Chains A and B, each alone.
Chain A
Amino acid sequence: MLSTPAPAPAADLDALLAALRQPPPLSQPFQEVRFRRALKAPLVTSGTLAWLGGLEFERRIETPYRETGVVSGRTLVVRRDRGAERIIPLARAPELQVLFGGLSALFGGDVQALREAFEIELEGGETWRLLLRPRQPALQARVAQLELRGSGGEARCLVLQQEGADTLTVFTDQPLDLAAGDFAAVVDGQCPQP
């Protein structure tokens, strides 16, 4: 069991946020694993996540299916090989709102926006764990927190946990080792631990 992390000293947090700041465009390969009740085995996907500045993202999934999701302001447009494109207002998809809102503020180094939208906790030093808890009650009810893990100025893991649905995104192009079995063990095996 992890103890509740203490609120981050402002100086450490500011230093980390400054280090995480990146000029757009930013493109990173990722491997993602989803643990779902409905699935017999965890589903692994891979692709690239590009940040184009502000609330503009492009998430491409290459395997095991192909999908392009473009976030632009208030909407997400999803295109797949088959079927019509789907337009999803972010206001109707709390997990995406938390995910992309958090990443946008982190990469953009917008400390003020980040503090307005989230309650922030930082744990560790050289290797660290950053917890972002949405302040909006509607979001909080659906997504309790967004967890980032990394070392130095580099974010490596993104953890999003919901009832019956756990997702780990690792910014790497190397296949993930899922031998550990359960979600928490997989996260600890893949991500830096503070």
Chain B
Amino acid sequence: MKARDAALAAIVALLLLGAWAASGLRLGSDLARFMPDARDADQRLLRGELGSGPASRILLLAIAAGDEARAAGLSRELAARLRTDPAFAQVLNGEIDESAMLATLMPLRFSHSPGMDVARFDVDGLYEVLLERLADLGGAGGEAFDTLLAHDPHFLTLALAESWQPLQEPTLRDGVWFTGNGEALLLVQTEAAGFDPQAQAAAIATIRSTFETLAGNDATLLLTGAGSFSARMSERVAAEAGLLGGIALVSLVAMLLLAYRSALFLLASAVPMACAAAAGVIALRLGFDEAHGITLAFAFTLIGVAQDYPVHLLSHLHPGVPPAVAARRLWPALRLGVASTAVAYASLFSGQAEGLAQLAVFTIAGLLAAALVSRYLLPQVLPMPRRDVLHGPGFRRWAQRLDGIDGGLWPLLPVLLLAGVALIAGGQRNWWNNDLSSLTPLPQEWLLEDMRLRAELASPDARHLLLLSAADREGVLRLSESLAPRFDTLVEEGVLADHSLPSRYQPSRQVQSWRLSKLPTPEVLRAALADASEASGFDAAFFEPMVQDVAAAQAPDAAARIAAAQADGPAGMRLAAMFREHQGRSVALVQLSGLQDPQALEAALDGRPDARILDLKAVAEGMVADYRSRVVSGLGIAAAALLVLLCACLRPRRAIRVLPPVLLGLVATLAVLRLAGVELTLFHLIALMLAAGLGMDYALFFNHADSAGSRARTLHAVLISAASTLLVFGLLGASSIPVLRAIGSTVAIGVAAQFLLALCMSGAAQRRTADD
């Protein structure tokens, strides 16, 4: 009894330790962690941009209501409320809050406004400006206008605001943006990164609940953008995985109860899996500071192999054989199975992505724990069996029929035939899907909605970026200033619709100080204003605020105040999003809108090394291809290592009979996928690895069974294992989410193929070996 208590205590301790590790595990969801280490500078940049770049933080909102006035009103009210929430960096809906705009831009007008390049401050220049303003008095009035006039008769602030406006703006109705479909359009930038589903879900919930309190039932809100995708996706995955998982669990319990007719056995069969999960989480907690959400999802899929370990043990129990003895008899096969699976999973390290490394660590630790628990702890806990599980209804007849299958090598033929047909039928289709977005495949209709709203906003091209680099930020700004005229010409020629060169938002120090040097002293300005006002009918005293501002611009702390005003304003946000420190140099990632002709732009840049176009799609595809080839070559190495391992542990003759069904099973699965027109992604690779791991176990156990009775028990165990895997993953294959469907269907097909081949080939091999 003592050993039993100790074993129970050890299991409980492991589970508790796992729960403790899980409670402290920080869950990350930065997609970049699942990306491979970058090979070159472009890949490194892309990796940094994924998930945290400014574009990924943009949500697009469209409000549809009965009439446009209502939609416009809702747009204004929603924007006003969201602007007070710190979760949102920016809320744009076409409204211009003139007094706020003036307050943020006015301090920058002398140094930043392009209007300064032609502004004159002598009597004649001021007189001309004041005559212009006199005419303007006919069309405008009000508090804001008077403030602007008193501080800035040259309208430098307006020239600055205009230069920052996107060249293309959506249609304005009732002062706010509208789509062609009559919906009010808003652009919201979150503080949180796009691939932070929790923060995005919270931001989206805030938007929705605010909208609902404002709108009631007579208006609808459409919300798209990277953040909404990640939040909606995880919501949908959770819902579907919950439902399918629930059905799978109930069916699994029913099946195990039917097979073993014992609640205790049912409970026992769950122990190694639970221990595997606990060990995996503990390993992650020890090895990494943060676990990736995708890692956890995949890891729980991959440790599914561990579910088979207790099943083998339970199927081999019968009166007269204590559990510990059964476990000891099974151990050689189990040990080899775990070791070979661990070798296969270790190939995930070759991906050189932290997410995949985490996956390998989790699954290897989990499987080792599950195997050790099944071998040493579980047998201590189980009571001496009182009846034989094989005495189930009709099992023996089934077993005899199945066991009679003596395939020999004949399954080779249909599999090779299938592979040949797949190769021919697959023809031109790509083997691999290199699209980076295939790593987060989204329903098509979401993407279409998003594209429609983006087009209305003329928001930046997501594919091309202009890269400017120099030794420091000042160098980049000067480079940008030298390119600006060329870009303006390109916009006129229709090569692109708009650009956001950094010098548009921050002139170089050179330009800034040249502009400031044009300002007269306050005394000179005051005298000139008096004469010009007298001649034009204005009241000279009205312009005293301007004189004060010019005095402030010449004060010793002016540069610091300009820098602060820029950092706090809309330009500061843009520039912060634009600039990167990269290998000791300063790099600006410049967004381009409506790029029609990348070649023409490339040509205009004249092959200069410090300014070039980055095609993100090409970089991403290269990155995915690199990534995959690393994983594939890792798998190749793993296969070789496996062969060595098997040869070392089994007699070569047996080893040579374990591998073929596994490899053939892989070929058959690949052939079926190819015939179905599937382009392979990382998800398929992981699913194939799981199927191969299971198949390896089936083949090993069939091979290990050395008597008729043992064969029947092995068959019982493998049948239950295969049926339960088929059940769980078959259900997953019915999911509406592409990722889950890919994994589910691939594992289901793979397990079916592996089971049939292992039964046919290993059974035969076993018999022949026994005949030796």
Contacts and interface: CB of A to CB of B under 8 A. Distances in A.
Interface of A: 32, 34, 36-41, 43, 45, 61, 65, 67, 69, 76, 78, 80, 82-83, 88-89, 91-96, 135-138, 142, 162-165, 167
A140 to B, nearest CB: 11
Interface stretch (B310-318, B535-543, B557-565): B535-543
Contact of A41 (B131, B138, B537): B537
Contact of B142 (A34, A45, A89, A162): A162
Nearest to B132: A83
Contacts of A67: 135, 138
A93 B139 CA distance: 8
A38 B139 contact: no
15 contacts: A32-B138, A34-B137, A39-B137, A65-B134, A67-B138, A92-B172, A95-B142, A96-B139, A136-B72, A136-B174, A162-B141, A163-B142, A164-B141, A165-B140, A165-B142
A37 B134 contact: no
Contacts of A39: 137, 537-539
Given A39-B537, A40-B538, A165 B141 contact: yes
A167 B149 CA distance: 18
B145 interface: yes
A163 B141 contact: yes
A88 B139 contact: yes
Contacts of B128: 82
Lowest 10 A-B CB distances belong to which pairs?
Answer: A165-B141, A91-B172, A162-B141, A138-B175, A38-B542, A163-B143, A162-B142, A40-B539, A164-B146, A163-B142
Contacts of A38: 133, 137, 146, 149-150, 538-539, 542
Contacts of A82: 128
B140 A93 contact: yes
B538 A95 contact: no
B270 interface: no
A53 B146 CA distance: 33
A43 B134 contact: yes
B173 interface: yes
B329 interface: no
A165 to B, nearest CB: 3
A96 B135 CA distance: 14
Nearest to A142: B142
B76 interface: yes
B131 to A, nearest CB: 7
Given A34-B138, A163-B141, A167-B141, A138 B76 contact: yes
Nearest to B141: A165
Nearest to B96: A92
Contacts of B770: none
Given A41-B537, A65-B135, A91 B142 contact: no
A69 B142 CA distance: 20
Contacts of A37: 146, 542
B150 A36 contact: no
Contacts of B141: 36, 95, 162-165, 167
A137 B132 CA distance: 30
A29 B538 CA distance: 26
Given A34-B138, A91-B172, A164-B146, 8 more contacts: A36-B141, A36-B146, A37-B146, A61-B138, A65-B131, A93-B140, A162-B141, A165-B141
Contacts of B135: 61, 65, 67, 80
Nearest to B130: A38
B263 interface: no
A79 B589 CA distance: 39
A165 B139 CA distance: 11
Contact of B143 (A32, A95, A164): A164
A89 B542 contact: no
A125 B306 CA distance: 95
Nearest to B175: A138
Contacts of A34: 137-138
B347 to A, nearest CB: 61
Contacts of B131: 65
Contacts of A163: 141-143, 146
Contacts of B139: 69, 76, 78, 88, 93, 95-96
B73 interface: yes
B137 A36 contact: yes
A80 B172 CA distance: 26
B69 interface: yes
Contacts of A88: 139
A95 B98 CA distance: 15
Contacts of B133: 38
Interface in B297-333: none
Contacts of A32: 138
A103 to B, nearest CB: 15
Contact of B140 (A91, A95, A136): A95
B300 to A, nearest CB: 54
Contact of B172 (A61, A89, A95): A89
A37 B69 CA distance: 34
Contacts of A92: 96, 172, 175
Contacts of B95: 138
Nearest to A45: B138
Contacts of B150: 38
A136 B69 contact: yes
A94 B142 CA distance: 11
A43 B172 contact: no
Contacts of A93: 139-140
Contacts of A135: 69
Most chain B CB within a 10 A radius of its CB, from A37, A69, A80, A83: A37
A43 B133 CA distance: 12
Interface in B336-374: none
Contacts of B172: 89, 91-92
A138 B174 contact: yes
A136 B146 CA distance: 24
A82 B132 CA distance: 9
Contacts of B174: 91, 136, 138
B591 to A, nearest CB: 24
Contacts of B140: 93, 95, 165
B537 A91 contact: no
Contacts of B533: 40
A166 to B, nearest CB: 8
B636 to A, nearest CB: 64
A163 B146 CA distance: 9
A142 B533 CA distance: 28
B134 A165 contact: no
Contact of B175 (A36, A40, A76, A91): A91
B296 to A, nearest CB: 49
A96 B684 CA distance: 63
A36 B143 CA distance: 11
Interface string B59-77: 0000000000100110010
Nearest to B131: A65
A169 to B, nearest CB: 10
Contacts of A45: 138
Interface in B210-259: none
A92 B101 CA distance: 14
B666 to A, nearest CB: 64
Contacts of A43: 134, 137, 537
Contacts of A138: 72, 76, 95, 174-175
A164 to B, nearest CB: 5
Contact of A164 (B96, B132, B142, B537): B142
Interface string B162-179: 000000000011110000
A163 B141 CA distance: 7
A165 B96 contact: no
A91 B176 CA distance: 9
Contacts of A91: 172-175
Most chain B CB within a 10 A radius of its CB, from A61, A80, A163: A163
Contacts of A162: 141-142
Nearest to A163: B143
A145 B175 CA distance: 18
A71 B317 CA distance: 93
